[in-house]
């Protein structure tokens, strides 16, 4: 079997939804999920997982967009997919193109800067070293599961990426330090690392880029907070942790 | 690529695509290179459908130079 065929089959397996091939070259999910399931889907394989293929140019966004438009799926599901593929993706590319500080905390907005200045002296109740984060040795089972998924598979569930980065801010001595560590881990372990989407995602999570100020709280200032409890309400953390546990056992 | 094909047709010259990985790319590791490499046969197949040559080099700068030198000698 040619290697190309092999990766196509592998991509199809990752999708775990019926798929069809377009021009015998492209794998696209044929059954797009509704918005309420699409983004915050709990399962390991709840999203398209096309980001590494997009990152390396194995597939172009236009090809995917055409396939999505031609798919027999609810209009709302298609719109949700296209919003991520076009609006969000272009916003990230734009961010990296025009902001020279895209991979540093200094890309932050004035409101976040002022807010962090008020909280730089806040006491951090837990601080982890680089190795503890890398080895997924925190007290938080959901965070550890996300970190393991990234290290073992080269991909982390999109919903977990937000939670993952925000917790690094919570567990670091400074904003700058948390930013450096999130970029380091993301670029090293994600197959779609070193991509504008990763930089924009981390900027959103840690310094509130493309977001608005929220309520004042320790360490985070006015940057939006995500707690384990609130994440558990929107995301089936229990199932996710169990799935990553299975994945980990399969790798041992 | 479309522009290259149009130019090639106008000048009556063959079009060749050249690809070589940049070694030691910042923050890239073996798993990234592996993933990238898995897509190369698709590029080759797509190009051959359009009658475009495909040359793979090992290291970007040196391989590109020697390829250009060899091509220049031949023509």
Looking at A11-20, A78-87, A122-131, B41-50, which range is the least confident one?
A11-20
pLDDT band at A109 (very low <50, low <70, confident <90, very high): very high
Tens of pLDDT, residues B17-39: 888 777 777 788 888 888 888 88
Which DSSP string corresponds to chain A?
Answer: --HHHHHHHHHHHHH-S-EEEETTTEEEESSPPPHHHHTT--STT-S---HHHHHTTSS-HHHHHHHHHHS-S-HHHHHHHHIIIIIIHHHHHHHHHH-TTTTSGGG--HHHHHHHHHHTTPPPS----HHHHHTT-SS-HHHHHHHHHHHHHS---HHHHHHHHHHHHHTSSSHHHHHHHHHHHHHHH-TTTTSHHHHHHHHHHHH-TTS-----BTTTBTSPP--HHHHHHHS-HHHHHHHHHHHHHHH-
User: Between chains, do B45 and A4 touch, taking CB under 8 Å as contact?
Assistant: yes
Q: Residue B41 is nearest to which of A4, A52, A193, comparing CB atoms?
A: A4
User: Between chains, do A56 and B36 touch, taking CB under 8 Å as contact?
Assistant: yes
- Domains in chain B: boundaries: 2-74
A4 vs B: CB within 8 A: yes
| pLDDT value of residue B75 | 65
Nearest residue of B to residue A59 by CA position?
B39
* Full-model pTM: 0.81
Tens of pLDDT, residues B41-58: 888 888 888 889 888 877
Delineate the domains of chain A, giving CATH numbers in brackets: 3-97 (no CATH), 100-251 (1.10.579.10)
Q: Could you tell me if the ipTM is greater than 0.90?
A: no
A13 vs B: CB within 8 A: no
What class is the B2-74 domain? alpha beta
Span A23-40, mean pLDDT?
Answer: 39
| pLDDT value of residue A41 | 46
Q: Residue B31 is nearest to which of A4, A6, A191, comparing CB atoms?
A: A191
């Amino acid at each position: 079997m040619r290697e190309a065929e092999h990766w196509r089959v592998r991509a199809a397996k990752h999708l775990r939804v019926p798929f069809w091939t377009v021009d015998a070259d492209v794998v696209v999910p044929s059954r797009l999920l509704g918005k309420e399931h699409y983004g915050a889907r709990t399962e390991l394989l709840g999203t398209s997982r096309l980001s590494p293929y997009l990152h390396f140019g194995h597939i172009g966004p236009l090809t995917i967009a055409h396939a999505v438009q031609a798919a027999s799926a609810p209009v709302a599901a298609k719109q949700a997919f296209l919003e991520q593929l076009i609006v969000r993706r272009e916003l990230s590319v734009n961010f990296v193109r025009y902001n020279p500080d895209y991979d540093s905390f200094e890309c932050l907005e004035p409101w976040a800067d002022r807010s962090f200045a008020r909280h730089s002296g806040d006491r951090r109740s837990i601080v982890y070293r680089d190795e503890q984060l890398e080895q997924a040795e925190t007290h938080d089972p959901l965070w550890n599961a996300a970190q393991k998924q990234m290290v073992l598979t080269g991909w982390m569930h999109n919903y977990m990426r937000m939670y993952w980065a925000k917790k690094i801010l919570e567990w670091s001595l400074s904003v700058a330090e948390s930013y450096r560590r999130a970029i380091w881990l993301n670029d090293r372990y994600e197959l779609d690392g070193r991509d504008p989407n990763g930089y924009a995602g981390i900027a959103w999570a840690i310094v509130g880029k493309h977001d608005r100020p929220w309520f004042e709280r320790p360490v985070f200032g006015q940057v939006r907070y995500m707690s384990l409890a609130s994440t558990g309400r929107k995301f089936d953390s229990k199932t996710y942790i169990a799935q990553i546990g299975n994945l980990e056992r399969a790798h041992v | 690529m479309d522009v290259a094909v149009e130019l090639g047709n106008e000048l009556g010259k063959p079009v060749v695509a050249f690809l070589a990985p940049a070694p030691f790319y910042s923050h890239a590791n073996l798993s990234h290179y592996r993933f990238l490499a898995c897509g190369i046969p698709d590029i080759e197949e797509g190009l051959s459908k359009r009658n475009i040559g495909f040359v793979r080099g090992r290291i970007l700068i040196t391989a590109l130079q020697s390829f250009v030198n060899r091509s220049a000698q031949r023509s």
